[in-house]
Amino acid sequence: MRYYYSADQIRSAEAPLLAALPEGKLMRRAAFGLATAIARDLTTVAGKAVCAVVGSGDNGGDALWAATFLRRRGTRATAVLLNPERAHARALAAFRRSGGQVVDTVPAATDLVIDGVVGISGSGPLRPEAARVFDAVHAAGIPVVSVDLPSGVDVHTGATDGAHVRPAMTVTFGGLKPVHALGPCGRVELVDIGLDLPPSDTRGFEDVDVAARWPVPGPTDDKYTQGVTGVMAGSDTYPGAAVLCTGAAVAATSGMVRYAGTAAQQVLAQWPEVIATSTFTTTGRVQSWVVGPGLGTDETAAAALCFALEADVPVIVDADALTILAAHPELVDGRSTATVLTPHAGEFARLAGAPPGPDRVADTRRLADRLGVTVLLKGNVTVIAEPGSGAVYLNAAGASWAATAGSGDVLSGVIGALLAAGLPAGEAAAAAAFVHSRAAQLSALDPGPGPAPTSASRILAHLRTAVGSIL
């Protein structure tokens, strides 16, 4: 599990180490890890040229110490001091003793720039002088490694409000911060500096976490005990939504899928294992409902949503059903079983009264609390919030291949199947989002050799491969 910590939590965990260790020891420990990560990135260290762009305070000290360690290994090291009077004195002295040179601008022959301008206590965009330096660096195509976080990016939200560094890699210390999932950090490497950090309530699944939760049939399981997923999706106008959503539920687990709607024939043509009827009143018993993709917003669709929400089973509300729910939020009042909403930004705005702002985590939490439901806010970084003091899950897709028509229908089917199998709402949504993004990546790479445009149908076709790669 990846856990994400606030700046205050990191500082609190650092305090006992700072008190116990000799002065400067913790900084040098962090900087050595930074230098090691940079050396791996450079492959060959001797003869390479590194330039540290240094702000005031400890972040600049980390950059100077890392440049010093690299200089001792044969790297040509320079440093641009944005505020010479406030540069970390001990680190600057060590840098100069190692043969490092202070310069006015980043040399043209530089192989890598270390961004040591501001750390986790900073806020706001880059100041003009720093912005000019990094504009030139980015224009020259010199790769950047940021210390702890990209300067000019908010540590809590990952938001940018003006000039900011765009690194190829970010090296952080002790624990991940929300910016490392939410912001433009490039590849993120975490250096262990000995902090004692408990699990946090902001987290992200990894392969092992999904594998531990994914329903795998045991020797006594049958199609009913593995979960029966009900799907109400599609219409005469959008039958494909029913095919995609139902197919995803079929692919996600080994239980049973029941479909109710006007696209029954199209669904059966693609998925003959589905039990399909034309109306929800004749569907039979299910252990979860997926309602909304391509369903429409007429009275029939509203009746389908009401029917599902009145049942004592988990319900995932998506697409058109979210539009209905936005007009009638009282439909989820007092539900005793899990409800999961999966809005994109526009649907979120209808539900919340405003689109998600820079702090997507806080906004998602507020909507979850207000409605008493689990909310999955779609995006390149999916944010999943449970009501009350529950966990928040962040799923950074790493690419936008899943941003394609019908992709959300596939995601909804997977979540519905996991809910039917008995997973808690937040974990079901997080595991589904993880597998969905893995399937999107696989579909974009198949048949290779490089990534290529994909589609919802291709994502669906790679779901089983994605699950298999995790299990």
Known binding residue 156? Answer is no
- Local structure of residue 55 (DSSP, 8 states): -
Known binding residue 119? Answer is yes
Known binding residue 61? Answer is yes
Tell me if 108 sits within 8 A of 136, measured CB to CB: no
Kindly report the backbone phi and psi dihedral angles of residue 202, in degrees, each rounded to the nearest multiple of 5, phi listed first: -110, 120
Amino acid making up residue 240: G
Q: Which two tokens stand for residue 453?
A: 């445009």
Known binding residue 317? Answer is no
Residues 6+ away with beta carbon under 8 Å from 412: 233, 245, 248, 290, 292, 293, 316, 318, 319, 342
Tell me if 3 sits within 8 A of 200, measured CB to CB: yes
Known binding residue 122? Answer is yes
| CA dist., res. 415 & res. 88, Å (int) | 50
3-state secondary structure 387-400: CCCCCEEEEECCCC
Known binding residue 56? Answer is no
Kindly report the backbone phi and psi dihedral angles of residue 434, in degrees, each rounded to the nearest multiple of 5, phi listed first: -65, -50
Read out DSSP for 273-303?
TSEEESSGGGS---SEEEE-TT--SSHHHHH
Length of the chain: 471
| CA dist., res. 316 & res. 338, Å (int) | 8
Known binding residue 151? Answer is yes
Known binding residue 109? Answer is no
Q: How far is CA 64 from each of CA 72, 416, 429, rounded to the nearest angstrom?
A: 12, 51, 43
Known binding residue 344? Answer is yes
Known binding residue 204? Answer is no
Known binding residue 358? Answer is no
Known binding residue 304? Answer is no
* DSSP 3-state of 25: helix
Known binding residue 83? Answer is no
Kindly report the backbone phi and psi dihedral angles of residue 291, in degrees, each rounded to the nearest multiple of 5, phi listed first: -130, 130
Read out DSSP for 400-461?
-TT-STTHHHHHHHHHHHHHHTT--HHHHHHHHHHHHHHHHHHHHHSS-SS-----HHHHHH
Residues 6+ away with beta carbon under 8 Å from 128: none
* DSSP 3-state of 90: helix
Known binding residue 200? Answer is no
Known binding residue 125? Answer is yes
Known binding residue 443? Answer is no
Known binding residue 207? Answer is no
Known binding residue 379? Answer is yes
Known binding residue 413? Answer is no
* H/E run at residue 20: helix 7-20
Binding residues for AMP: 378-382, 408
In the annotated binding site for (6S)-NADPHX, the residues are 58-62, 119-125, 148, 241, 294, 344, 409
Annotated binding site for K(+): 59, 115, 151
- In the annotated binding site, the residues are 58-62, 115, 119-125, 148, 151, 241, 294, 344, 378-382, 408-409
